[in-house]
Structure 1
Amino acid sequence: MTAYIGEFISLIFLAIALGLDAFSISLGLGMQRLRLKRIALIGITIGLFHILMPFIGIILGKVISMQIGQLTELAGGLLLVGIGAQMIFSAFNHQVKKIIQPIGAGLIFLAFSVSIDSFSVGLSLGISGVKTALALLLFGAASTILAWGGMLLGRKVHGLLGAYSEILGGSILCGFGLKILFG
């Protein structure tokens, strides 16, 4: 019984750790003018990807080599830096329409880039033999809740910072992308 409780507690801590990147990225996103429905959709999408990516990692854990895992981290880091740089650029040039917005394909790319680290965690979980369903549900719930919290907090900060909030949000995205690339 104690082993199950210990595994559950460690899975909760792992889920929170994986969700913290969703929080920091969502903090930057929340500084854009997003409606509450959009915030809810973004959080749910990020949560679903935090379930899907480790599930794929668990299934493919024994097949995929470490080199392919490093390539997905590279792609995700570059994507976050690109989105953040575009946000910073559009803050200085108000005539430029945003290239990547958190709707449609932009939302899918965002959720994918945020959940890449959970893919590599899934690779290791597939080998260790943890309770897969429990781990996936905890990953999805923690990342959804943390993403919502980040975006709601970002909305409040946007009201305080005004025009500078988009620059700050883009800087957060760029910083997190650089952390993934050079981490």
Structure 2
Amino acid sequence: MSPFTIAMLAISMSVDAFAVAVGRGAAIGRPKFRETMRTGLVFGIIEAITPIIGWAAGVAASQFVQAVDHWIAFALLGTVGVHMLYASTQKSEAAPSAQLSLPLLMATAIGTSLDAMAVGVSLAFLDVNIFVIAAAIGVATFLMSSGGMLVGRLIGERFGRIAEALAGVVLVGLGISILIEHLSA
């Protein structure tokens, strides 16, 4: 996987955390630096761990599905991408709490990182260094969620939904690219 592709994947996986952080930043109004860093660290660490878990599950299953691995990668990435596109069109049900406890913050981070786990499964079928990719996803998520907290009051929830839609398009495109590459080989 090229550095550009890794960067696009990392940014795509970080967008849902960014959207949540924008909402939190908007709800808090003026988030404290400590809260901004805590949010970024929790989201970044969890988002870095989940693709490794998915990758390990995919590696365990890879010997059984090698003949169709590119179709599985395409289906998983496409499904996550389409889901992100759909989610970007939905209004959030409630404003995020300005004072999230650490367990609630972690639960939120896990909820936004399930797509990274699914992508991790699809990466098991490719010749990639999962640890480099997971680190890139973690760093991107830390930066985007911390930044989302800081600018949340300025840009609001709408921009977060636009970014999520773009990330969905990138994931669908990555899935199509993998499929085309394997079918033309």
TM-score between both structures, scaled by the size of structure 1:
0.64
Residue 119 of structure 2 corresponds to which residue in structure 1?
121
Residue 93 of structure 2 corresponds to which residue in structure 1?
85
CA distance in 2, matches of 1:126, 1:101: 37
Q: For 1:9-48, what aligned pairs fall within 5 Å after superposition?
A: 9-33=4-28, 34-48=31-45
Amino acid at match of 1:135: I
C-alpha displacement of 1:8: 2.1
Q: Which runs of 4+ in 1 moved over 3 A?
A: 62-66
What SS class does the counterpart of residue 86 from structure 1 fall into? coil
Amino acid at match of 2:104: G
TM-score between both structures, scaled by the size of structure 2:
0.63
Q: Which runs of 5+ in 2 are unaligned?
A: 66-71, 169-185
C-alpha displacement of 1:114: 1.3
Residues 22-58 of structure 1: per-residue CA shift (max 9 Å, x gap): 2222111111223221111111111111111101000
Q: Which runs of 5+ in 1 are unaligned?
A: 1-5, 89-97, 159-167
1:28–1:154 CA contact under 8 A, matched in 2:
yes
Residue 106 of structure 2 corresponds to which residue in structure 1?
108
Q: Report how many aligned residue pairs link the two structures.
A: 146
Across the aligned residues of Structure 1 and Structure 2, the Cα RMSD in angstroms comes to 3.8
CA distance 1:17–1:169, shift in 2 (3 Å): closer
CA distance in 1, matches of 2:61, 2:107: 24
C-alpha displacement of 1:107: 0.4
Residues 48-102 of structure 1: per-residue CA shift (max 9 Å, x gap): 1111110100011144998xx88xxx9xx99xx89x42328xxxxxxxxx5x953
CA distance in 2, matches of 1:19, 1:105: 20
